[in-house]
Each structure stands twice: as structure tokens, then as C-alpha cells.
Structure 1
Amino acid sequence: MTKQSSLSPGSRLNDYTTQDGAAWRVSALKEVSYDVMVQPRLLDPANPALADALSSGTTPARRLIVIDATVRSLYGEQLAAYLAGHDVEFHLCVIDAHESAKVMETVFEVVDAMDAFGVPRRHAPVLAMGGGVLTDIVGLAASLYRRATPYVRIPTTLIGMIDAGIGAKTGVNFREHKNRLGTYHPSSLTLIDPGFLATLDARHLRNGLAEILKVALVKDAELFDLLEGHGASLVEQRMQPGEGGTGGAALTVLRRAVQGMLEELQPNLWEHQLRRLVDFGHSFSPSVEMAALPELLHGEAVCIDMALSSVLAHHRGLLTEAELGRVLDVMRLLHLPVLHPVCTPDLMRAALADTVKHRDGWQHMPLPRGIGDAVFVNDVTQREIEAALLTLAERDRVPRWRALHGAVDMGV
């Protein structure tokens, strides 16, 4: 005999008899929805978007704000004036958020601040304002505090606006492993203001453009064309929107990148399906990034992975010589690396082995098929990887890494 209890919609509790006694099966569905909004001039007192996001129906609202140290130095006074003008009481928790600080100790700093502030469980979202490292840290802390506390994200870097700040994943590094500890806990709202990019240095802007290039290569040929035609100007003008020309291209690039990423994330938010187009550039890069830390930024490591994967695709006949040339030329145009000294055959072997574990025993490696499309493969060999490394080394004789970043020669 089976009985169904009266629980919330989408939930069931069935009891049934087994040979040795009784058993129960609990089934529940959790509806998740969140908003991603482009809001120029977010800190303009005349713009109510941020105040509305922090409102709880009581006056004054009281909020904890976790903010990156650099962002505070640039926008702290403007933020304080905005919040005061909208009658929001606040306390700042300032974090020096960089990759080396993306560890559980920093998460505990945020949890300490939440506890000291007295963050309630449901109706006073924590505000996370900074780059992708900071929003990942705050997201993990919020997911752990009282088993789920809401938060709002204001990404201030390009990689945060089009990648880290708009998905469901949180995470920190553990030992030599990238994002080994984490949860799925999207913020209730992400507010994107391209104006923050005006103060972002060129290297960090290119770091975000690498993730935009990822989306372009596997699903959006028009986006690739925009990067090819406007990439240098986008960096020079810090992707500031304007009328026509590069300004118009900047907003189009931003919107297409966010749209493309969300199209891939929304139907597979909890990653039940491990064949993910957005994993392009992420088969080798986690190990490369951690091995080179702090020398490589995340997007730079992703670009190295994309370059290697593109050569693998070319060797398999998926990319023509002309298409591979265009891909590598755009990477050079954006001053992104395609190799690094840590990219030894042994590291790449270990990187792929770790990725196979992460993808439940399969490579599920996305490779570009032409520009704007991709296929998944599961049979990449070590010999192919080493051949691709040699090809990249031959195409990249000039030690651009030293020229661009004052580091060591990029040859292998």
C-alpha cells in the first residue's frame, strides 16, 4: 500500500512495505529563479535599482556589504552616498579578493562578518560587490550560513559580469585544485553596470574577453566577428557603451555574451548533464592556472586551453587552417597567451585525468567545429595533446608572455 502525504507542491512522501519492514521515499522539487539585469549608472542616486534590490519593506533597511578592497577604494564613497540617500544602513566587510585568497579561510571571514552583523535567514540579502573571486567566496558563505542565505551580486569585472556573477555555482580552491569545494547557490539578483569597467585595467579586461571568446567559438560566430573586428578598441575604450562604432559594439558584445552563457546554464543549472559547451577551455585550464598561480589569470589559463583545443580540432579536421589562423589571431589581438612554461606533457596528462574524474569518467571535451559550433569527444590521446603543444610552440616562437607581462618565455 502506498500513501502520499500533503506536502508542498512538487513534493511527495511515499511509504511502502518491504520484506524486512517499512521504507519511505522522499521526492521534492525546488523551484529556482533569479534575475540578471544590465543597469548602467547603478550608483547614480536617481537609479532605484540597487535600493529596490536591498529593500525589505522596512525603513531603514539594514544590510551587510562584502566588498573587494580595490572596489572600495574606487567606489566606496559613491556607494556610501547612494545608500545614505536611500536610507539604507550598512556595514562593510572588506576582502582583498584575489585567487590566492580564494580559500575556506576567507569564506570563514565572511561568515564571521555575517554572524557579527546578525544577518537574518530570509529577508536581508547580503550584497557582494567585486570580481568573480569575491562573488564566488560570498556565494559559498551565503550557501553555508543557516544552510542558505540570500545574496545579491554586483560584479565589477568583465569576467564577473559575463561568467562568474551570473551562474549558480560558488566555490573556492582546495590545495592545488581549482574550485574543488563549492555549492550551487545563485544570487537572487545580479546587477551589471558596464560603467565599472572604465576603471578596470587592460589585462583584467582581456581576462574577461577570453571567456567571451569561449562563448563565441562554440556557439556564436557573429560574436566572434565582433571580437575580431573590434577587440583592440574594446580594450582601449574599456568596453564603454556609446552611440555607434565601438561603443555600440561593446554593449552588443556584453549582451550576446551574457545571453549565450545563460542559454547554456539555464536548462542544466545543476549540471546533471556533464556534456557542457561552457566547459570549452576548461579541460586543461584548471590545472594550468593552479600550477602557474599567481602568474596566470583565470581567463588567460582558459585561453591557453582554448588554443590547445583548437589545434586538437584542426588536427582532427574540425577546423580548417584558415579558421585556426583566425582563432589564434584573435587571441593575439586581445594579447592573450596561447602557451605557458607550465604546459608540459606531464601536467597536461594529469590535467585531463583530473577532468575525467570531474566529468564522471568521461572526457566530454568540447572541440570547435568551425567557428560558432562544437562537438564533444571522448577519445583524445596523449599523443594528440603533445602534437598540439608542439604545433602551438612552432606558431608562437616570439616570447610574447615576457613582452606582455614581464614573465618567462612561453615556449615549451
Structure 2
Amino acid sequence: MSGNNSALLGRPSERTQTVAAQPGAGLYAYSERIDAWVVRTAKPVSYEVRVADGLFDFGRTDLLEPAAAPGTRLRRFVVIDSDVDLLHGSRIRAYFDYHDVDYTLCVVPADETVKSFETAARIVEDLDAFGVDRRREPLIVIGGGVLMDIVGLASSLYRRGTPFIRVPTTLIGLVDAGVGAKTGVNFNGHKNRLGTYFPADLTLLDRSFLATVGRRHIGNGMAEILKIALIKDARLFDLLESHGPLLLDEKFQGETGGGEAAAREVVRRAIQGMLEELQPNLWEAKLERSVDYGHTFSPTVEMSALPALLHGEAVCVDMALTTAIARRRGLINDIDAQRVYDVMRSLELPAWDDLLDQPELLTAALRDTVRHRDGMQHLPLPVGIGDVTFVNDLGEQELLDAVLELKVVGRRAGSPEHV
């Protein structure tokens, strides 16, 4: 993120004095009548998402950017998930040792139950003890979506913004949490109630980390891939329909030729689709966001079920419910709706959770979403497979009727043993 273009613009008045600001920064205007200034500024934002297979091979130098100041040793503050440290910590340390980096590894247990401001504050305490040069020493976070969200928030707050680099180690991190601009922690029983918009300068994607990720967590990430497929990419849905179980079995490691080709295309299409939706509306000025699909009821369901449901599993339950709503409205036909439920089952994802039997929970979730979306539902619903529309007229009875339908279809579609 670099560059700054500012101007002070006065409100219209009978007597307005226009004065040149500093060179290249535009003009500002002072209104004598109302004795006020209005400040507007624009800061271009640029960040990179880079495929970096074999990231910790000694020959790769992605994590050594930017170089140290002349005559000084390269320094890095690294936050790493405690589970990732157990599995990969030795090779990560060996990498930094090989390149003679002065580094500190801050090891953090990270899941939704500790996704809190207190965890972020503990990271900042260690960061403050280490000290960083904000221009040359970006923080590095190695872990899943939860840890990347926490560290992103800490980075955005520390000295009003300290650059950071993301290394996602889960599938949901690779295709969702690792490519956007939002950071956040849970607060007061609400998911991501505290947060900022602060993208990492660089996200490095290494699929090899997925080899040590549990099968359930692979499925968890595939729910977010399914989201992109349903709202904008029918080809991606076809790939999940035909290769989903193989990708789940191989953990996206390409153990077979067909598995490798499918893994590459699925990951690329999921990331490309996500970025296409995020880039024109990165700060969410427009509240009709197709990538909110699956995220209307799921935040409340997920927090109520915690820790029984993973994030992607809660999103999948939401997508199953909104598929039922869309089918009842004629937006998706019976055959395609059944295909959606069949793919959920093949990916070992839940299409039903007993929390849906609590009408007050669902209506509270919808009310909370309306508050979050400026008084409107802006509810994304699938149109067939690969398109989306937004509605603002979902009523309580229609919602409950869809729940009753899903109770039969969703349970038949599959309910993994862990749910």
C-alpha cells in the first residue's frame, strides 16, 4: 500500500477562498460563511496474492522481502499457530536460520474460542518487545483464517498500521480468509464484531501445508469454494461435483494426474472468483455483496454452536437453507437444488443443524444482518447454479417453511458424524 493523494474541499458558500495545498496534493477551500473545512483524501491500495509452492525451501526468498537496511541484519516477527508449529516449526526455523534472519516466533493457539481482542493484545505485547521497522520488517503470520484475522487486526492497530505477510496453512485460509482485506475478532458473543479493513501486503499460497490438515478442515474450506461456485462459477461447481471427493481424499496434493489438474484449477478459480467480487467493493461501500452468500444466518448459528460447527460448516448450513428458500421462489429448479445438496453430501458437509429448529435464533440472526446491512436484508439467493440475486422481502413464515423443507432434504443430504 503506497501513495497518498489529498485535498481539503470546502462546502459551497457565498465566500469561499481556494488555496493551493502542498504540491501534488490538490486544492483545499475554506468557507468563511460557515467557518468550516471538509477534508477528503484518497490512498491507493495494492496487495499481492502469490502462489509460492515450497515456500520454505532454502532457495525461495519470498519471506525475505523487503531486504534489510544496508549494514543491518534482516529481522522478522513471526506469529505461528501452535498446531502448525508442532508440524512444521522445525523446517520454518531452519529456513530463517539458513538465511541468517534475526527472528522471534510467537506461538499462539488459535481457534474460534480464543478469537478475541485479548489474544490480539497478547501478540502486540510480544511484538512491542521485539520492535519492528515498519518500512522494512513486516510481520509474518503462519496459520489458518482465525490467526490471520487476529494478526491482521493487531497489525492494523500497532502504530496505526504495520505491514504484514500472510502464509495461510488451511484451505479456508488459501481461498477465503487469506485473500481479502478484512480483519477481526469475536466480541460480546458476536462473530467478528471488532475489526478493520487492512489487507496484507503479500499473501503467499503453498498447497503443501494442506497435506497435514485434517480431512474435516479440508471440507471446511471446500464450503467456501462451493460458495463461489454457486453464486458465480458453474464450471467450478462442475469440478466440485466431479472431483470433490477426490480432492478431499488427496487433500489437494495432486497424488494423481487428475487430482493435480483439478486441485490447481479449483484453487485458482476460487481465488480468482473471490478477488473479482472483492476488488470493486473492497471497503464494502455497496452492501449487496454476492460473497455474503452463506453468511446471513451462519454467524449466529456458528457462534451458538461453538465449537461444534466449523466456520465453513455453518456457511454450508446457511447455503442449504437459502437454496431451499430459492427453490420455493422458483429461482432454482428441483434438479439443480438436489445437485447442490448432493455435492454438500459428497464433500462431507452438513446441510442441516438442529439449531435451525429454533425460530427465534433464525429471526434474531436476520435482524442482526439487517442492522449490519444498513436496514436492508440484501439477502443473496442463488439463481440456478452460477448466478445470484438479492432480495429484501424475506418474511418469518417463508423462512420457517424453508426450514421445514430443509429438515427433510438436509438430513437426507447428509449429516457428518462430527456434527
Q: Verify the 8 A CA contact 2:79 2:108 in the aligned structure 1.
A: yes
Q: Does 1:44 align with 2:57?
A: yes
**Residues 6-405 of structure 1: matches in 2 within 5 Å?**
6-7=21-22, 9=24, 12-19=27-34, 22-51=35-64, 53=65, 55-58=67-70, 59-241=72-254, 244-343=257-356, 344-397=358-411, 400-401=414-415, 404-405=417-418
Partner SS state of residue 179, structure 1: strand
Distance 1:395 1:208 in 2: 23
TM-score, normalisation: structure 2: 0.93
The 1:273/1:399 distance shift into structure 2, 3 A limit, reads closer
Partner SS state of residue 366, structure 1: strand
Render the CA deviation track for 1:19-77: whole Å, top value 9, x for unaligned: 5xx211111101110000011111111122222x3533444211110000001111111
RMSD: 1.5
Distance 1:115 1:40 in 2: 31
Q: Verify the 8 A CA contact 2:141 2:148 in the aligned structure 1.
A: yes
Distance 2:385 2:162 in 1: 41
1:8 Cα deviation after fit: 6.8
Distance 2:148 2:24 in 1: 32
The 1:251/1:147 distance shift into structure 2, 3 A limit, reads same
TM-score, normalisation: structure 1: 0.95
Partner SS state of residue 179, structure 2: coil
Distance 1:166 1:14 in 2: 39
Report % sequence identity.
Answer: 53
Render the CA deviation track for 1:176-195: whole Å, top value 9, x for unaligned: 11101000010100000001
The number of residue pairs the alignment matches comes to: 402
Structure 1 counterpart of 2:192, one-letter code: N
The 1:9/1:56 distance shift into structure 2, 3 A limit, reads farther
Structure 1 counterpart of 2:204, one-letter code: L
1:242 Cα deviation after fit: 6.0
Distance 2:102 2:367 in 1: 49
The 1:315/1:398 distance shift into structure 2, 3 A limit, reads closer
Q: Verify the 8 A CA contact 2:327 2:337 in the aligned structure 1.
A: yes
Which region of structure 1 is more displaced relative to structure 2, 355-364 or 1-10? 1-10
Q: Verify the 8 A CA contact 1:282 1:305 in the aligned structure 2.
A: yes
The 1:8/1:223 distance shift into structure 2, 3 A limit, reads farther
Q: Does 1:2 align with 2:17?
A: yes
The 1:291/1:98 distance shift into structure 2, 3 A limit, reads same
Q: Return 5+ residue gaps in structure 2 as ranges.
A: 1-15
